[in-house]
């Protein structure tokens, strides 16, 4: 059932408007009432601000009452005579349109032909959005400059706090958390002793040590601690990519150091040295099950690792949650995964090509053409409706004549829409059946030809036709495919 359009009509005049341009309250009320009736909109109420400037929204009680009715779902459409009747401030207009959109309330201006329920109106909103984005960018730039200046003065600006310190909001400063301080030093010591970020995070997770926000540790969290000069009593600016070109580190009298200068420098010199021992990158098509396979035990994603030993490439897969200590699934080789997948393919039903596919495709094409033709007819009827609406507004048609013509056009449109719905069902049925049969035939061919495909072709097949493969490790060498979900 189509939702009723319940309209609030807003009218405003300032003292100087009363005598010019037909902006009087009665003139606006008459024109807007006619416009609402022509569109079959229910009028909920009139909101009239008499003798009040449109410079801003403050001090306009009827605007406030109207906005409260929008928020309380009493009205879902706003109608005004002209945009400047509502506001002359771009900033206020952006705020109002955001509010209307949030509460699913359309917005219409009679003289400017703004109607956010259609494409032209939505284009207007996008133009307004450009102004909003410009305003937000200016604000972001001003905030960024403020943060930069505060950092140069030695203040820590991240109010979320950081591990090792507690942020005192009222005083806008950091104080050392003694328990976390010990753990920060332990992380630095472990890194200096040769532990990787990953081994440190695994150790902390196994000990059930929570992060600052009560979550699990990750390699990136550990890395952010080892790299952070805050633990030396220094604040930094320019961590994010957007402002990295402006990055700097500033000594601070407001932050108490947690680690010694010697320890921090030793750890970070190791960071620089270890950067040279990067893992060699291999083409992703070699590990073509990556991104497709998931752990059957916990549902987590599975990562791939590639190593080259004595000129031979070894590929292994492992559950990410197992890597972090939250799943019992151990790693398995690409070869074992390959054997398990081939065994699974053998269990699938081999279907001969379905001769009805071409018939279904022809039926689908005919239905799509019918829909296209009917939509063009509906567009013509909609144009006629707009024409008679304009004639009625300009007093060229009486209300009775307008209603008779409008009802006839609505019946024609409704009839065509019913036919369109029938044809849309045909398209949907044909599409789903065609895709299902097509995939089954492809799978049948894949079973016969998998061994002749290149790794790249296997990767393309999996990414195009397989949604996910759930894998379970049963023993040191045995892999079981729990399920394979094909794209539908």
Q: Which of 14, 53, 219, 333 is catalytic?
A: 14
Q: Give residue 308's pLDDT band: very low, low, confident or very high (50, 70, 90).
A: confident
β-pairing, 42-50 vs 6-13, is parallel
pLDDT for the residue numbered 447 = 66
Q: Give residue 356's pLDDT band: very low, low, confident or very high (50, 70, 90).
A: very low
pLDDT for the residue numbered 432 = 44
pLDDT by residue (tens digit) across 53-67? 656 677 788 999 999
Using CA atoms, how far apart are residues 98 and 129, in angstroms rounded to an integer?
Answer: 9
Is the predicted pLDDT of residue 182 greater than 70, yes or no? Answer: yes
pLDDT for the residue numbered 279 = 45
Is the predicted pLDDT of residue 280 greater than 60, yes or no? Answer: no
Say if residues 104 and 75 touch (Cβ distance below 8 Å): no
Query: Residue 233 in 3-state DSSP?
Result: coil
Average pLDDT over residues 400-426: 78
Is the predicted pLDDT of residue 314 greater than 60, yes or no? Answer: yes
Both tokens assigned to 94: 């952006």
Using CA atoms, how far apart are residues 64 and 47, in angstroms rounded to an integer?
Answer: 10
**How many CB atoms within 10 Å of residue 4?**
11
Q: Which helix (H) or strand (E) holds 176?
A: strand 173-176
Buried b (16+ CB within 10 A) or exposed e, 114-139: bbbeeeebeebbeebeeebeeeeeee
pLDDT by residue (tens digit) across 236-256? 766 655 555 666 777 777 778
Work out the burial of residue 469: count CB atoms within 10 Å of its CB; fewer than 13 is exposed, 13-18 middle, 19 or more buried: buried
- Give catalytic status of residue 109 as yes or no: no
Is the predicted pLDDT of residue 185 greater than 90, yes or no? Answer: yes
β-pairing, 77-80 vs 106-109, is parallel
Q: Give residue 457's pLDDT band: very low, low, confident or very high (50, 70, 90).
A: confident
Using CA atoms, how far apart are residues 466 and 293, in angstroms rounded to an integer?
Answer: 10
The answer to which of 22-36, 111-125, 273-287 has the lowest mean pLDDT is: 273-287
Q: Give residue 443's pLDDT band: very low, low, confident or very high (50, 70, 90).
A: low
Per-residue DSSP letters for 25-55?
Answer: HHHHHHHHHHHHHHTTPEEEEEEEEES--SS
Q: Where are the alpha helices (DSSP H) in 247-308?
A: 261-274
pLDDT by residue (tens digit) across 43-99? 999 999 887 765 667 778 899 999 999 999 999 999 998 877 787 666 777 788 878
Q: How far is CA 98 from the centre of its chain?
A: 18
pLDDT, greater one: 123 or 434: 123
Work out the burial of residue 204: count CB atoms within 10 Å of its CB; fewer than 13 is exposed, 13-18 middle, 19 or more buried: buried
Buried b (16+ CB within 10 A) or exposed e, 242-274: eeeeeeeeeebeebeebbeeebbeebbeeeeee
The answer to which of 169-173, 181-185, 230-234, 417-421 has the lowest mean pLDDT is: 169-173
Query: Residue 14 in 3-state DSSP?
Result: coil
Strand partners, 248: 237
pLDDT, greater one: 281 or 158: 158
Average pLDDT over residues 96-115: 82
pLDDT for the residue numbered 42 = 93
pLDDT by residue (tens digit) across 204-221? 888 888 888 888 888 888
Buried b (16+ CB within 10 A) or exposed e, 323-344: bbbebebeebebebbbebbeeb
Strand partners, 301: 294
pLDDT by residue (tens digit) across 116-132? 666 666 666 556 545 54
Both tokens assigned to 105: 């309330």
pLDDT, greater one: 72 or 403: 72
**How many CB atoms within 10 Å of residue 369?**
11
Average pLDDT over residues 410-439: 66
Is the predicted pLDDT of residue 479 greater than 60, yes or no? Answer: yes
Sign of CA dihedral 291, 294, 298, 302: negative
Most confident of 63-77, 148-162, 208-222, 426-440: 63-77
Average pLDDT over residues 458-466: 77
Q: Give residue 436's pLDDT band: very low, low, confident or very high (50, 70, 90).
A: very low
Both tokens assigned to 245: 């070109």
């Amino acid at each position: 059932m189509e939702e009723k359009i319940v309209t609030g009509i807003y009218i405003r005049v300032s003292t100087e408007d009363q005598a010019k341009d037909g902006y009087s309250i009665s003139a606006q009320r008459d024109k807007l009432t006619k416009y609402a009736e022509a569109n079959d909109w229910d009028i909920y109420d009139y909101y009239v601000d008499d003798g009040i400037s449109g410079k801003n929204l403050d001090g306009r009680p009827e605007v406030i009452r109207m906005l409260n009715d929008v928020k309380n779902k009493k009205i879902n459409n706003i109608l005004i005579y002209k945009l400047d009747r509502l506001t002359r401030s771009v900033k206020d207009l952006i705020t109002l349109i955001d509010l209307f959109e949030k509460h699913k309330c359309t917005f219409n201006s009679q003289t400017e032909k703004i109607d956010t329920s259609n494409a032209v109106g939505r284009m207007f909103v996008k133009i307004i959005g450009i102004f909003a984005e410009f305003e937000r960018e200016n604000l972001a730039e001003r905030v960024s400059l403020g943060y930069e200046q505060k950092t140069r003065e030695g203040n820590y600006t991240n109010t979320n706090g950081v591990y090792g310190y507690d942020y005192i909001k009222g005083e806008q400063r950091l104080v050392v958390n003694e328990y976390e301080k010990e753990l920060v030093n332990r992380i630095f010591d472990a890194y200096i002793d040769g532990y990787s970020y990953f081994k440190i995070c695994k150790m902390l997770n196994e000990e059930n040590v929570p992060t600052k926000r009560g979550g699990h540790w990750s390699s990136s969290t550990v890395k952010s601690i080892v790299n952070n000069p805050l633990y030396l009593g220094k604040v930094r600016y320019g961590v994010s990519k957007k402002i990295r070109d402006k990055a700097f580190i500033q000594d601070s009298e407001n932050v108490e150091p947690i680690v010694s200068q010697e320890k921090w420098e030793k750890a970070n010199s190791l960071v620089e040295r270890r950067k040279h021992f990067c893992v060699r990158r291999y083409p992703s098509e070699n590990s073509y099950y990556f991104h497709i396979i998931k752990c059957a035990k916990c549902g987590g994603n599975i990562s791939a690792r590639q190593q080259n030993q004595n000129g031979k490439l070894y590929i292994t897969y492992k559950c990410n949650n197992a890597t972090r200590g939250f799943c019992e699934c151990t790693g398995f080789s690409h070869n074992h995964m390959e054997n398990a997948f081939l065994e699974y393919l053998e269990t699938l039903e081999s279907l001969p090509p379905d001769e009805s596919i071409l018939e279904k495709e022809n039926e689908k094409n005919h239905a799509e053409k019918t829909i296209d033709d009917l939509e063009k007819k509906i567009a013509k009827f909609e144009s006629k409706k707009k024409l008679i609406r304009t004639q009625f507004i300009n007093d060229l048609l009486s209300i009775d004549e307008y209603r008779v013509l409008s009802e006839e056009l609505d019946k024609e449109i409704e009839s065509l829409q019913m036919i369109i719905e029938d044809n849309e069902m045909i398209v949907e049925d044909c599409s789903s059946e065609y895709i299902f049969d097509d995939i089954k035939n492809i799978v049948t061919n894949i079973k016969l030809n998998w061994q002749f495909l290149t790794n790249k072709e296997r990767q393309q097949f999996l990414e195009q036709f397989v949604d996910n493969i759930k894998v379970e490790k049963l023993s040191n060498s045995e892999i079981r495919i729990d399920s394979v979900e094909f794209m539908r």
